[in-house]
Amino acid sequence: MSVTEMFSSIQGSLSADQDVREDIRKVVQALEQTGREILTVLQSVHQTAGFKEIPSKCERARELFSTVRTQIAELKTKFPTEQYYRFHEHWRFVLQRLAFLATFVVYLETETLVVREEVAKILGIEVVREKGFHLDVEDYLAGVLIMASELSRLAVNSVTAGDYTRPLRISNFINGLDSGFRLLNLKNDPLRKRYDGLKYDVKKIEEVVYDLSIRGLAKDP
Amino acid sequence: MDRREGEGCPRRNADAAQDRDVNSSSPVIAAFKVFQQELDTKHDKHERLVKISRDVTIESKRTIFLLHRVTSVSNTDDILKEADVKLDAVRQKIGQIAEELRGEDLFQFHRAFTPGIQEYVEAVTFLHYIRHRSLISLEEINAMLVFTRGEQEELKGSVEAPQTGGPVLTFQVTPSDYLLGVADLTGELMRLCISSVGNGDIDTPFQVSQFLRQIHDGFSYIGNTGPYEVSKKLHTLRQSLGKVEDACYALRVRGSEIPKHMLADVFSSRTTHLEPEEGVV
């Protein structure tokens, strides 16, 4: 095989690769759009009026998640399943956002941490790599960490809205998360960087709880 | 006020301790214990791959140094044979990588072993060039990376080979790793060219410059459709090509005037003149 032939065959495989990436990028853009819509719906819980409407907001968000499911189903058709990690960086960001939104919705509904299987179900994907398009454990954890900072904001705003018991519940929940993350041996990677921010969220919520308790506003346990 | 806080503090601590006890059996902690295992397994595998990749790099580099001795020795066959043996050892290591990646997604751990693979490609292409004066193709490289497992597995394989589909393990070099390895190869070819002039070999420089030009054309054809690293290496490739072309130029112009035994001196003085210019460009 001559040098020229060699290079033209490689060029062929490279441009095929680029076409796949282009297709993926289009679907991911649509996914990001849906993600932003869900976020807008959920953001209203921070407003005073929004606190009473949490269940209806969650319902609306759940409806939007069905769009996410169809979009992810489309994404799955764009590349061979066993090459998930080859294109991973294209949807890593949006998948983390969606994992965050799913955990946030479930937290607002039940005040518990949603398991990875459930998040995968909400997004219409798998948990185990062998079964196809899946939710990587690091992406799930990143989503949980985004939710933690959202909850520290929610604690502050719920006090403003006159709900004095919520911060205590959030505090318990976040402390549970914190001790969970302490179990992990994180490498010096993006997930670790994000985890380092968790302590500030914990601190913020503790301050809110402190403010409430010295004023006798918190319910006695 | 002070006293009240002092009293409150221990109670709060006690509460916290109680919470922790409750938590340690909570579903959250249980879930995170699973994550811990999953992440640790992944990180361990990554570390092992990095280690193998480093060994592959070192051994490939040594092979390349060995191959550079070809220019100064009359009997090249021995060196080429020794290089073959060394590369076989490297292939065994790559077999270990393939073993680690069995059932995994190649690209999930690609970053861990890509430096080693590139170095290996460089060594293999260099050996192939010295022997055949041509570029080894990606398919040929991949064809060499087919491993049959050791005796232990073979015994097992003889029992259940029909079900598992044979104890054959392959490793696929990706096109971009191949490209990057070939880009590194050009640097070695440049050194080969310069040192062969030093030994009064007049033919090799022209062959190398011909070959380098073909590779350069190939890379220009790919341009920036390739991965980012390729376009970075294109710059060094141009420099290497420039040096080789200058060497051929010098040989052609001066070659007819100067007696052959003095060529080496002329040439080495010329390259030293070139070095500072390279820095400016």
Q: What long-range pairs does B226-233 form, CB within 8 A, spacing at least 24?
A: B226/A14, B226/B176, B226/B179, B227/B176, B227/B179, B227/B180, B229/B176, B229/B180, B230/B176, B230/B179, B230/B180, B230/B183, B233/B180, B233/B183, B233/B184
- Judged by CB atoms closer than 8 Å, whether chains meet at A183 and B36 is answered as yes
User: Residues of B with CB below 8 A from A184's CB?
Assistant: 32, 35-36, 39
Collect all residues with Cβ–Cβ distance below 8 Å to B29 and sequence separation of at least 6. Answer: A176, A179, A180, A183, B23
How far A179 CA lies from chain B's nearest CA (Å)? Answer: 7
Q: What is the CATH number of domain B20-173?
A: 1.20.58.190
Task: Show which of residues 147-186 on chain B sit within 8 Å of chain A, judged by CB atoms.
Answer: 175-176, 178-179
From chain A, the residues in CB contact with B137 under 8 A are 1, 6
Per-residue model confidence as pLDDT tens digits over B4-48: 444 444 444 444 444 444 456 788 899 999 999 999 999 999 999
Q: Which of 1.20.58.200, 3.40.80.10, 3.10.20.30, 1.10.760.10 would CATH assign to domain B174-281?
A: 1.20.58.200
Two tokens, residue A141: 């954890």
Question: Is A155's pLDDT higher than 50?
Answer: yes
| pLDDT at res. B75 | 79
Alpha carbon distance, N-terminus to C-terminus of chain B: 75
Among residues of chain A, what percentage have pLDDT more than 70? 98
- State pLDDT tens for residues B141-196: 999 998 876 544 443 333 333 334 456 888 989 988 999 999 999 999 999 988 88
The answer to whether A51 and A163 have CB atoms below 8 angstroms apart is yes
Q: Chain B within 8 Å of A16 (Cβ-Cβ)?
A: no
Q: Which CATH superfamily is domain A136-221 in?
A: Translin; domain 2 (1.20.58.200)
Q: Is the pTM of this model over 0.90?
A: no
pLDDT at B279: 40
Q: Tens digit of pLDDT for each residue in A23-70?
A: 999 999 999 999 999 999 998 888 887 778 888 999 999 999 999 999
Domain locations along chain A: 13-135, 136-221
Other Cβ atoms within 10 Å of B260 Cβ, number: 9
**pLDDT tens digit sequence for A87-140:** 999 999 999 999 999 999 999 999 999 999 999 999 999 888 777 899 999 999
Query: Nearest Cβ partner of A15 from B134, B178, B225?
Result: B225
- HEC per residue, A19-61: HHHHHHHHHHHHHHHHHHHHHHHHHHHHCHHHHHHHHHHHHHH
CB atoms within 10 A of CB B248: 19
The answer to whether the A13-135 and A136-221 domains have the same CATH topology is: yes
Give chain A positions within 8 Å (CB) of B132.
none
pLDDT tens digits along B125-138: 999 999 988 999 99
Q: Which CATH superfamily is domain A13-135 in?
A: Translin; domain 1 (1.20.58.190)
In chain B, CATH 1.20.58.190 sits at 20-173
CATH 1.20.58.200 in chain B is located at 174-281
- Give the angle subtended at the CA of A71 by the CAs of A67 and A72, to the nearest 5°: 115
The alpha carbon of residue B205 is apart from the nearest alpha carbon of chain A, in Å, by 18
